[in-house]
Amino acid sequence: MSLVIALAQTNPVVGDIPGNTALVLQQIAAARQQGARVLVLPELVLTGYPPEDLLLRPSLQPRIDEALATIADAATDLYVVLGYPATVGGRLYNAAGVFHAGRKLAEYHKQCLPNYRVFDEKRYFEAGDSACVIEIDGVPVALTVCEDIWHEAPMVQARAAGARLMLNLNASPFHVGKQREREAVLAQRAMAGDMPVLYCNMVGGQDELVFDGGSCAVNAAGVVLARASAFADSLLLVRVSEDAGRIAVHAHGAPAPLQDDDASVYGALVCGVRDYVSKNGFRGVVLGLSGGIDSALTLAIAVDALGPDRVEAVMMPYRYTAAMSLEDAEEEARLLGVAYSVIPIEQAVSGFAAMLAGSFAGQPAPANDTTEQNLQARCRGVVLMALSNRKGSLVLTTGNKSEVAVGYCTLYGDMAGGFDVLKDVLKTRVYALSRYRNSLSPVIPQRVIDRPPSAELAPGQTDQDNLPPYEVLDAILARYVEQDESAEQIIAAGFAAADVNRVIRLVDINEYKRRQAAVGPRITQRGFGRDRRYPITNGWKPGR
């Protein structure tokens, strides 16, 4: 017995059932051409993931039924295994089905429904309660879906039902280190069940989520024998055979290498930008280029995602803009080959100041007044949004996670735009990613990396005038935002109480800004978005 199985690491579009059906048909043709007997596609590939409240639309099931009929008719000689929502007895399930020779042969209902961080499947789906084992060319094959593999029970159940090979369909989003976590869990399950596990994952960007792929084959000893490249469509072929009563897995070539953290994060950001812009039909992007490191890194990511012809950079200087900022912004644009222009904002700021002079008369400025600084940022936001309207380009904002966390950004100013590339990237990682990108080819001038960061909204201003050093700030933010540690826990870890209390207060009082911020790709286990939901109006006080 020898069975070739193709794992189709694909990039569906949420809600585009006809387009996703066509994608499945393309994969059927490709798998057939490669001599595969079984084709495995990701979880909910027909709807994309997460479909959210599209699952509640009354026309969902007829559209799914039509798509499945088309796929079943195309599955003449192949066994096609794919994920879709299924309504059975008035209940909606996250399902995986097996189609062959015009018929549905089996259907599995996901048992372990994730309801944490970015997941809220219990809002939509009922949980299944039984194994699904189907014999394909003499091999008893079990189906599971994504979260099932992170729990022991579905594997135990499948083994008891006679399975000797497991197929696991996934829509598993990226965060730093996720592939290593997955493969460690896959190894545990394979060894516990004494059977190989073939893991097929989705790839591509969907709003703030990025799916990195990493489809792989793990043998019964827990060894990864095959692995698809990250952040790329792929058809991963493996062959299974019977050897002394056991199922053996044979790879076609060496596994794709695991990426290090900087490479994987950079790949996730590129993927997130590419798919958000392209899937939403924008011609390209425009961003403000300040001469600082955040906008420089954002520009590099945008070019790597879309190509220089779809990227426009605009420098908008004011009287506080340093000469080196102008020089560095121009050099960045030249190195990356993008359209570049300089639009000074002096007249706009002066015009607003004149308009407001009467209203401000007799009212002394409060301490630490930022009115003039915010006017500058908002004038820049108006310029970028005007260019967006006229040219059909998406405005990329350039704020990093450290700034977004503590509110070091201006509503309707530097926050104005449609996609924040660095929204989940702490400032210290911005520096690491900039050095990583320069290791591929020099696109960010070294002076930009070396100079003290500044918003350049006031004379001689630096970020550290208003914030703790980024090494301290980011460490506190990682503990408070990503790990949910309390102030007492963070202080006990050795951080100054004054810094901790100040940072936590800034995070808490700036929730209203984050609610109005652009979406951005999630690269940590807890970003600002789907998986961190705090009330704006609340009386909670930091403490134990």
The CATH number given to whatever domain includes residue 350 is 3.40.50.620
In a domain, 478, yes or no: no
Judging by beta carbons within 10 Å of its beta carbon (0-12, 13-18, 19+), is residue 323 exposed, middle or buried?
exposed
In a domain, 331, yes or no: yes
Listing DSSP states for 30-87 in one string gives HHHHTT-SEEE--TTTTT-S--GGGGG-TTHHHHHHHHHHHHHHH-SSSEEEEEEEEE
Q: For 311-361, list the strands marked E by DSSP.
A: 311-315, 339-342
First to last CA, the chain: 61
Listing DSSP states for 184-250 in one string gives HHHHHHHHHHTS-EEEEE-EEEETTEEEEB--EEE-TTS-EEEEPPBTS-EEEEEEEEEETTEEEEE
Q: Which two tokens stand for residue 86?
A: 């299924």
pLDDT given at position 457 = 61
Model confidence pLDDT, tens digit, residues 495-544: 999 999 999 999 999 999 999 999 999 999 999 988 888 989 988 888 66
Show which of 463, 482, 498 is a domain's final residue.
463
pLDDT given at position 320 = 87
The Cβ of residue 463 has, within 10 Å, a number of other Cβ atoms equal to 19
Q: Specify whether 227 is located in the same domain as 321.
A: no
In a domain, 58, yes or no: yes
Per this entry, what is the length of the chain? 544
Amino acid at 247: I
pLDDT given at position 456 = 55
Q: Specify whether 267 is located in the same domain as 338.
A: yes
In a domain, 197, yes or no: yes
Model confidence pLDDT, tens digit, residues 335-387: 999 999 999 999 999 999 999 998 888 888 777 788 888 999 999 999 999 99
Q: Specify whether 323 is located in the same domain as 204.
A: no
- Supply the CATH number for residue 48's domain: 3.60.110.10
Domain count along the chain: 2
Show which of 463, 495, 530 is a domain's final residue.
463
Q: For residues 31 and 443, what is the distance between their CA atoms, to the nearest angstrom?
A: 40
**Coil, strand or helix: which one is 285?**
strand
Q: Specify whether 248 is located in the same domain as 380.
A: no
**Domain assignment of residue 151, given as a range:** 2-259
Q: Specify whether 220 is located in the same domain as 296.
A: no
Q: Specify whether 181 is located in the same domain as 73.
A: yes
DSSP 344: -
Check if the beta carbon of residue 315 is closer than 8 Å to that of residue 340: yes
Q: Specify whether 267 is located in the same domain as 328.
A: yes
Q: Which two tokens stand for residue 313?
A: 């950079």
Q: For residues 381 and 396, what is the distance between their CA atoms, to the nearest angstrom?
A: 11
Q: What is the side-by-side order of every strand in the sheet holding 284-288?
A: 339-342, 311-315, 284-288, 393-397, 419-420
Q: Specify whether 243 is located in the same domain as 267.
A: no
Check if the beta carbon of residue 39 is closer than 8 Å to that of residue 9: no
Q: Specify whether 243 is located in the same domain as 277.
A: no
Measured in degrees and rounded to the nearest 5, phi and psi for residue 361 equal: -60, 130
In a domain, 516, yes or no: no
Residues of the chain with pLDDT under 70: 1, 454-466, 543-544
The whole-model pTM stands at: 0.94
In a domain, 100, yes or no: yes
Show which of 463, 489, 506 is a domain's final residue.
463
Q: Specify whether 148 is located in the same domain as 283.
A: no
Model confidence pLDDT, tens digit, residues 406-417: 999 999 999 999
In a domain, 532, yes or no: no
Q: For 48-110, list the strands marked E by DSSP.
A: 79-88, 91-100, 103-109
Model confidence pLDDT, tens digit, residues 18-30: 999 999 999 999 9
In a domain, 518, yes or no: no
Q: Which helix (H) or strand (E) holds 373?
A: helix 371-391
DSSP 29: H
Task: Indicate which residues carry an active-site annotation.
Answer: 43, 110, 146
Beta bridge partners of 213: 230
Helix axis angle for 178-193 and 153-160, nearest 10°, is 30
pLDDT given at position 460 = 63
Q: Specify whether 327 is located in the same domain as 219.
A: no
**For residue 326, how far is the Cα from the chain centroid?**
32
Q: Specify whether 303 is located in the same domain as 171.
A: no
**For residue 4, how far is the Cα from the chain centroid?**
31
pLDDT given at position 451 = 87
